[in-house]
Amino acid sequence: MKKLLLMFFFIGHIVMADELPDLGSYTDNIITAVEEDKISKQILYEVNQSSSVIHDVEIEDYLATLGNSLLVKTSIANRHIEFFILNDSTINAFAMLGGVVGVHTGLFLAANSESELAGVLAHEISHITQKHLPRIIASQQRDSYKTALGMALAILVSRSNPQLAGGAMQAVSASAVQNTLDFTRGHEQEADREGIKLLDRAGFDVRGPINFFRTMQNASQFSDGAAPAFLRTHPITSDRISDIEDRIKEYPYKQRVDSDNFYYVKGKLRAFLEEKTSIINLLKENIKNKTFINESGEHFALAYAYYRNNQINEAGQELDFLIKSKPNNPMLINLEATLLIKKGSLQEATDLYLKGLLMFPTYRAFVYGLADHYISVKYNSMAIDLLQKYLLLYPKDPNLYELMAKAYANLGKILLQHENLAEAFYYRYNLREAISLMDLAVRSRDGNFYEKSRVEARLKELQREEMLFKKSLN
């Protein structure tokens, strides 16, 4: 088991900078729950460290909400799945060991409907529920353990980044790798079938996957013969398409209206990922010629593009167009508050955040924005009160702890600053840095008896966790 753990840790370190590997899911016969948890934390550490991962709370929460809606009535309905989005223009997505699912920005932007995007997520979730990676490893037990892991490595790397597959395949025979690759095509078909069930249960259009495949095929026509990454890592054969088409005939037609936030998130990504001037010109031209899939999404993208280019008045005009029809959408409220802060209308922004929290009390973007604003104007006690309230709701949110640390730093409370920074690092899966900062909290000269006792107990807890982790690798 030690070799298996180290292999997955090694993959994370060498591949994360570009594209993460598809690690499938788990089975208790191969990997215990404890071992899976350790692998999951290492993967999420890499995710949090990577500059290629999009760290935007609205985008993160949208993806998590969409993904979690698909987990209803599955074998892992009560299990936490982590979703993240990788800044990569290729059209791809992947599931990883430990219940982690990644989506490339290219795939998100290529999806023409929410059911298409949900279809991809349902497919990746199905790789987890069907325990595909451990089944591959288990099927190779007739070979040496080293050879089996070498095959798994070749498959994993090739699914996420086909260009890296060659080096990994040198570790095993070509015929063995080919046999295993053939086996994974069966997994793809199984994930298709299970994914359709997830889509239907969650109320999405089960024709989303077929529509997405057509999008992929159209994309390949304009890329000098190179298929999109999703087609290379999730091979689409005629048999597979026929199987999906036969399956969806069993389901009645279900018309589903896409959420506004689907188009708003796409718009936000476009505004921040493209070159500032060119995206403004493109969006203006699209609106003028009515060449868009969703008009509101286009105006929302243009508003953020203007904001990014410091054209605040123009951004406000685009926002006004949207508010007329959707005044209470949380993403519009957040954009309005952001523009008010940029213009220096701080009290108006504060009032808007508070109004937003009354309507959407769990919307984290409002909490972040309001707390950050309080801290910037030295209302540190108000920030702390707000953050403590929401830490009861989101006790594992590292951003809340980081904001708390800033507020305590402004008040000169060193023990509490270091304690909260330590928790921020802990929930970003950086245990070593969390221990260092908690040790600084223990050594701080301020703090009352209760606070000192608390940080001393927490330090021992973190050190014990580190010791158990190291012991598991021996």
- The residue length of the chain stands at 474
Instruction: Read off the pLDDT of residues 161-204 as tens digits, 9 standing for 90 and up.
Output: 444 444 444 444 555 555 554 436 778 888 888 899 999 999 99
- Strand-strand pairing, 100-104 and 93-96: antiparallel
Q: Is the pTM of this model over 0.85?
A: no
> What is the pLDDT at residue 300?
97
In a domain, 39, yes or no: yes
Of 126-135, 364-373, 436-445, give the lowest mean pLDDT range.
126-135
Mean pLDDT of all residues in 229-247: 70
Alpha-carbon span 218 to 355, nearest angstrom = 45
Mean pLDDT for all residues in the chain: 82
> 363 φ, ψ to 5°?
-80, 105
- Using pLDDT thresholds of 50, 70 and 90, give the confidence band for residue 341: very high
- Are 145 and 235 in contact, with CB atoms under 8 Å apart? no
Distances in whole angstroms, Cα of residue 1 to Cα of each of 84, 104, 140, 151, 365: 27, 31, 15, 16, 41
In a domain, 216, yes or no: yes
- Using pLDDT thresholds of 50, 70 and 90, give the confidence band for residue 46: confident
Query: What's the domain range around 437?
Result: 412-474
Element spanning 11, H or E = helix 2-15
> 101 φ, ψ to 5°?
-125, 130
Boundary residue ending a domain (212, 229, 248): 248
> What is the pLDDT at residue 98?
75
- Provide the 10 A C-beta neighbour count for residue 455: 24
> What is the pLDDT at residue 4?
41
- Using pLDDT thresholds of 50, 70 and 90, give the confidence band for residue 10: very low
Token pair for 188: 């793809």
333 contacts: CB under 8 Å, gap ≥ 6: 352, 355, 356, 359, 360, 366
Residue type, 415: L
Q: Check pLDDT > 50 for residue 336.
A: yes
In a domain, 376, yes or no: no
19: left (phi over 0), alpha (psi -120 to 50) or beta: beta
Alpha-carbon span 105 to 374, nearest angstrom = 32
Alpha-carbon span 225 to 227, nearest angstrom = 6
Q: Check pLDDT > 70 for residue 50.
A: yes
Alpha-carbon span 104 to 185, nearest angstrom = 22
Of 47-56, 58-67, 300-309, give the lowest mean pLDDT range.
47-56
DSSP state of 53: B
Nearest to 24 by CA among 193, 114, 138, 115: 138
Mean pLDDT of all residues in 139-157: 48
Alpha-carbon span 59 to 440, nearest angstrom = 34
Q: Check pLDDT > 70 for residue 123.
A: yes
- Using pLDDT thresholds of 50, 70 and 90, give the confidence band for residue 381: very high
Boundary residue ending a domain (213, 248, 283): 248
In a domain, 77, yes or no: yes
Count of structural domains within the chain: 2
Q: Check pLDDT > 60 for residue 221.
A: no
Q: What is the 3-state secondary structure (H, E, C) of 352-405?
A: HHHHHHHHCCCCHHHHHHHHHHHHHCCCHHHHHHHHHHHHHHCCCCHHHHHHHH
> 16 φ, ψ to 5°?
-60, -30
Alpha-carbon span 240 to 235, nearest angstrom = 9
Beta-ladder partners of 104 = 86
Q: DSSP labels for 286-313?
A: HHHHT--S-HHHHHHHHHHHHHHTT-HH
In a domain, 293, yes or no: no
In a domain, 362, yes or no: no
CA 148 to chain centre: 30
What whole-number percentage of the chain has pLDDT above 90? Answer: 53
Token pair for 163: 């260009």
In a domain, 157, yes or no: yes
In a domain, 369, yes or no: no
Boundary residue ending a domain (248, 276, 302): 248
Sign of CA dihedral 78, 56, 431, 393: negative
Alpha-carbon span 441 to 455, nearest angstrom = 7
